[in-house]
Amino acid sequence: MDFPLTFWDISLWLAVTAIVLLITSELISPYYGRTNLLINKKRLKNTALTVSILFLATVTIRIANIIINP
């Protein structure tokens, strides 16, 4: 009865989600021109950045692990 995903699975999932969200937020940005989508673009952009930062944090933890336990 353990949670089946490891830390690295979560990291990969965060990476894929971050890419999808970042591309979506760029495509619906007012500068790109698709402004007729009825969602709160600022919040989507913030979520995309948060998920990206979380992914980068997992990468930092991985690098730190490699350095500390070579």
Partner 1 sequence: MYQVKIGLIHIVITTMLTLGAIAILASIIYTSSILAFIGLGLIFWGAILTYVKPEEHIKKTILEAALSPSHSTLHQVIQELAYRGNATYLPPKYFKNPETTRIYIPKLKGDTTLPTPEQIQEHEHKLFAQNPQGITIAPPGLQLSKLVEKSLGTSFIQTDLNYLQQNLPKPLIEELEVAENIEIQVQEEKTGKKTNVEQTTSQPKSITVNVKITNSIYANLYRETETPTQSLTSIGCPICSAIAIALTKASGKPVKIKQIQSSEDDNTTEATYEIAEE
50 scored as a contact of partner 1 (CB under 8 A): no
Stretch 10-49: interaction string toward partner 1, x if CB under 8 A = ---x---x---x-------xxx-x-x--xxxxxxx--x--
User: Measuring CA to CA, how many Å separate 34 from each of 5, 21, 23, 38, 64?
Assistant: 37, 15, 13, 10, 41
Task: Count how many residues are written for the chain.
Answer: 70
> Cβ distance 41 to 7 under 8 Å?
no
Give me the least distance between CB of 38 and partner 1, in Å please: 4
What's the min distance (Å) between Cβ of 17 and partner 1? 7
Site residues for partner 1 per CB under 8 A: 1-5, 9, 13, 17, 21, 29-31, 33, 35, 38-44, 47
